Amino acid sequence: MKKRTFFFAFCFFSLFIVAFVHAQQGEIVWQQSHTGESLTITVRQALALPHRSPAILRGNIIQHLCGDRYLFRDPSGEIVIIINTWRGLYISPTDFVEIGGELRQSNKNRQAITFDVMIIRIVI
């Protein structure tokens, strides 16, 4: 009896944790350290930030370049983004999206800046 109760309690707890984690996917907000404000910026502002800076960008993914590289555009400019996982999303160039990730500078060419996407979601 005790084993069965423990088993059902464990299953219920596991199911609760899985549902909670699933509900939180795609809802991560990068935050500045100390202020607690989200760092939603434009492409122009992103290009001025240092290597490995976290940021959130809003705009459109307008073109597939090659492999996991895409061209992202907002009203201030364009940047190459790297998307390793789409999490089942189908996005067209007309969809307005919010992407969260880190800015990366190339080791060979410091002018080559890309944005490594960790979170992507369609903004309605």
Residue 95 and residue 41: Cα distance in Å, rounded? 18
Q: Given this model, what pLDDT does residue 12 score?
A: 47
Q: Which residues of the chain have pLDDT under 50?
A: 11-13, 15-37
- Which parts of the chain fold into alpha helices (H)? 2-24, 43-46
pTM of the model: 0.68
Map residue 62 onto helix, strand or coil. strand
Q: Given this model, what pLDDT does residue 29 score?
A: 41
Domains with residue ranges and CATH for the chain: 40-122 (2.40.50.200)
Q: Given this model, what pLDDT does residue 107 score?
A: 74
| Selection from 47, 48, 39, 49 nearest residue 98 by Cα | 39
Q: What is the pLDDT of residues 57-87, one digit of tens each?
A: 999 999 999 999 999 999 999 999 999 988 8
Q: Given this model, what pLDDT does residue 64 score?
A: 96
